[in-house]
């Protein structure tokens, strides 16, 4: 799918991979609606980019009523929408499920799963009207492989994975392409944005085995995958490697990660 002159809605565009996706889309000739909860970050991004092809919208994706009104708001600037990239996401506090407060569980599920679902439901009818369109949901390496201290985050991303795979099955005979993204370790501000303090050992696996990707590198891998209409998009050697290892031996892969990351909970 050519990105030039296409209109893409990108959530989580206030920072990290989301903002890099928005920037890279503009660089490739697309038009972008950048959506994020943090209006200050969006305005700073808008000032830095200074493009008539960019529209920013401060929005809480867990607010279904607000999300339902977003397509009409987009239409005020752009007549059509050909792409939706659900990139917004947060992590949980680094604690075991037994010690995790239900409020934290609700927050993670609302942002990561329901936010993705609300955006998909709001824009899918618009995508189906276009001659060609693309729906992209960002899951995580943690969506197919458990990480200690991030079990609920992983569950939310696993839900995104299965939702997206189901959408692919339902839409494969339509004009809407569907991709699921599995980012590996990426240098972003997700920990800060989630209001979580990460243990110093959180990066142990990343630094000792695989180099962390920059958000810019991850964004360009994702866009290259969209252009090639890839079903699954893995960003980072760690994500690719662990996907293979998990498929070969789920128990071994689970123990490998548990041993590597056990200091997260110490």
The label of the residue with tokens 């041993």 reads 259
- Residue length, the chain? 266
Residue 236 is given by DSSP the state S
Q: What are 238's two structure tokens?
A: 């760690």
Neighbours of 19 (CB within 10 A): 27
In contact, 222 and 233? CB cutoff 8 Å: yes
Interatomic CA distance for residues 113 and 120, integer angstroms: 11
- Asked if 153 is an active-site residue, the reply is yes
Report the alpha-carbon distance of residue 237 to residue 122 in Å, rounded: 34
* CA geometry: angle 36, 41, 44, nearest 5 deg: 130
Q: Is the sign of the CA dihedral 130, 136, 71, 47 positive or negative?
A: negative
Pairing of strands 7-11, 31-36: parallel
Measure the CA–CA gap between 24 and 216, rounded to whole angstroms: 8
- Cα-to-chain-centroid distance, residue 90: 10
Active-site residue among 118, 153, 168, 246? Answer: 153
Active-site residue numbers?
Answer: 153
């Amino acid at each position: 799918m050519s990105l030039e002159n296409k209109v893409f809605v990108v959530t989580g565009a206030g920072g990290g991979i989301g903002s890099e996706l928005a920037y890279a889309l503009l660089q490739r000739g697309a038009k972008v609606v950048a959506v994020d909860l943090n209006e200050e970050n969006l305005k700073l991004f808008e000032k830095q980019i200074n493009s008539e092809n960019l529209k920013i919208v401060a929005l809480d994706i867990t607010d279904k009523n607000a999300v339902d009104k977003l397509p009409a708001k987009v239409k005020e600037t752009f007549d059509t929408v050909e792409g939706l990239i659900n990139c917004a996401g947060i992590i949980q506090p680094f604690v075991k499920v037994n010690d995790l407060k239900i409020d934290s569980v609700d927050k993670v599920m609302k942002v990561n799963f329901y936010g993705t679902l609300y955006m998909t439901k709001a824009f899918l009818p618009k995508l189906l009207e276009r001659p060609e369109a693309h729906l992209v949901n960002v899951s995580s390496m943690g969506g197919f492989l458990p990480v200690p201290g991030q079990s609920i985050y992983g569950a939310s991303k696993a839900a995104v994975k299965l939702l997206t795979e189901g959408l692919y099955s339902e839409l494969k005979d339509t004009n809407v392409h569907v991709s699921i993204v599995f980012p590996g370790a990426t240098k972003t501000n997700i920990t800060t944005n989630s209001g979580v303090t990460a243990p110093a050992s959180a990066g142990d696996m990343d630094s000792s085995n695989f180099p962390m990707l920059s958000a810019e590198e991850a964004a360009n891998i994702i866009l290259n995958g969209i252009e090639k209409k890839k079903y699954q998009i893995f960003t980072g050697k760690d994500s690719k490697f662990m996907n293979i290892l998990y498929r070969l031996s789920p128990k071994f892969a689970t123990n490998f990660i548990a041993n590597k990351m056990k200091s997260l909970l110490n």
